[in-house]
Amino acid sequence: MNTSTIRFGFPIFSLLCALFAFNTAFAGSIKIDRVDPPNWWVGMPGDSVTLLIHGEGVGAAAVSLKHDGVSIRNRTTTENPNYLLLTLNVAPKAAAGEVELRFKNGRDKGKFNYPIQKRSKLVPKALGLDQSDLVYLIMPDRFANGNPDNDIINGSQETVINRDSMFYRHGGDLAGIVSKLDYLQDLGVTALWLNPVLANDQPKESYHGYAATDHYRTDPRICTTEEYKAFVVECHRRGMKVVMDVVHNHVGDRHWWYQDLIAEDWIHRFPEYTRTNFRATTLIDPYASAADKNLMSDGWFDHHMPDLNQKNPWLATYFIQNNLWWVEYAGIDAYRIDTYAYPDKVFMSKWNKAMKSAYPNITLFGETWVHGQAIQAWFTEGNGLDPDLNNELSGVTDFQIYYAINDAMEKEEDWTGGVSKIYYALVKDYLYKDPTRNVIFLDNHDLSRFYSMAQEDIGKFKMGVGLLMTLRGIPQLYYGTEILMKNYADPDGKVREDFPGGWSTDTLNKFTEAGRTAPENEAFNYVRTLAKWRAANPAITQGKTMQFVPKEGVYTFFRYTDNRAVMVIVNGNKTKKKVDTSRYAERLKGFSKAIDPLTGNPVTDYSALTVPAKTTLILDLMP
């Protein structure tokens, strides 16, 4: 599929921009230069929308309108006279069209035509994720460059392309990702999680996307907003889903409403720059000091990332509406919430509830980079760990499974370590309402590459991938893991290198079999085979889990339904191990044959199996 394919359909965002230009050009002496959200829909939950209106002195203006089914509920100002918060009632049967907002302050007048649209019932949206999915995480700037014309956008804070530096932009974009959708589908990927695509107009290191400067526009160096919507449509056409990465904890200091700060209490202030202590433990520690708790939640991530105060009700409303808008506008299927442990917990509970109320099938999973199952589970819904608050979050990025897999790969078994660490991680699944909603992974954009963590040992690599593809939860693969991309996160830019072949000037193209080395093809084929096998296996996609206490460095678990089962034997030893499977009789009962999913060959006798060192052996059991 070429890049032009994603530029289809009625250009609604262009229409909105044209309306905005019309409004600005023909307004009277009161000039409105920004309204968020840029439009709304009839029939949205709550029957209201709060407009954040920006214009010089607009806070002093009275507002009126006449439109069938739309009325003004509330008008609020802040200490900044350039803002007005206007809440509109939008009745369930309100007339779709342009709502003419009229502004008046003495003799000064102005108007703005605000679009209220009908909701589309035909476009699929918020499909959600489940265990049948394989999520592929991509940093757009580093994956593929499909449109060199958008590499540099005049007027941007950062206008340098330098692929030799880990700190500058490299030019990757959404068009490049679209051009590789066939590759991704062939690999077995069913869902794409892109690092943030929102505008990130920061003067340096803007490539990663985690310092947003506009919440209603995509970064033009990645794509237009229309192209992003068309990308979701194309993914849905292919049977793929899209995960949007969002940040509620902070923004970039060049954000448009931080540059002309709407209100002092939209951010957390300190006498001098104060960094968070990164200690999520303070949130649940019964002995924690108030000072430590406040520093955790209110401290800044970096000098250029103002920390947001979600306790401000208008800021909370702004983010809830923004995320509802992106689902309704673009049709995304899931949200990954960055730095989930840091924003106000009451706000996050309210946000989760609002998303699930509007879109019951949507998947919401938060980044919880913490140590300890209880701390991680505390953030999820229905766990009963916080009597005062239901956090409402569907699932988390499961760092405890990540730690356990690495421990099993590198260490010999002891009472709690080595392969036993996986066993103990799953033992604590009772803390979750539904642990299958957790996203499990081997690496990501902040962590050392898995192949490096495996000491570039293809056997250990396969051991980890085998666990990723069979353990409970939703597996996530980081771009390039399948071709043995390597490096350590010191700094993290080293694990965000370009995918070879994503640029027309690349001398190697590892998107093709011919461009990969023999070990890279071995790894790619291993990942692809297991990915496609698991997607079609109900024992994995719908099954329960049963595990057996590790013994002599060997850990065994089953994924199973009433008539299908998968037996997974993990040998964490440095030598091969003969495994007597009679102790697994309660799960083997009723199954007469086994097939190796990697070769398709039958295993005629699995009463005793010899498992090589540092290996995950997978057998598909059948009646």
Sign of CA dihedral 571, 572, 574, 578: negative
Q: What share of the chain is helix, strand, coil (3-state, %, to 5)?
A: 30, 25, 45
Task: Tell me the one-letter amino acid at 491.
Answer: P
- Bridge partners (DSSP) listed for residue 193: 137, 243
CA distance 491 to 153: 27
Q: Does 338 qualify as catalytic in the annotation?
A: yes
Estimate to the nearest angstrom the gap between the alpha carbon of 64 and the chain centroid: 40
Contact 214, 264 (CB under 8 A): no
* Runs of H (alpha helix) within 300-432: 313-330, 345-358, 373-377, 399-410, 420-427
Query: Residue for token digits 């019309």?
Result: 22
Using alpha carbons, select from 615, 597, 523 the residue that is nearest to residue 559. 597
Helix H or strand E segment including 13 = helix 12-26
Residue in 367, 392, 407, 520 annotated catalytic: 367
Using alpha carbons, select from 337, 336, 339, 406 the residue that is nearest to residue 369. 339
For helices 420-427 and 399-410, the axis angle rounded to 10 degrees is 160
Sign of CA dihedral 460, 462, 463, 469: positive
Contact 467, 617 (CB under 8 A): no
Using alpha carbons, select from 545, 531, 518 the residue that is nearest to residue 597. 531
CA distance 603 to 579: 15
Contact 570, 555 (CB under 8 A): yes
Contact 336, 382 (CB under 8 A): no
Laid out side by side, the sheet with 62-64 consists of 40-42, 108-118, 97-105, 62-64
Residue in 245, 298, 328, 338 annotated catalytic: 338
Contact 266, 316 (CB under 8 A): no
Q: Does 457 qualify as catalytic in the annotation?
A: no
556 contacts: CB under 8 Å, gap ≥ 6: 547, 548, 567, 568, 569, 570, 579, 584
Using alpha carbons, select from 54, 88, 46 the residue that is nearest to residue 68. 88
Q: Which residues are catalytic?
A: 338, 367
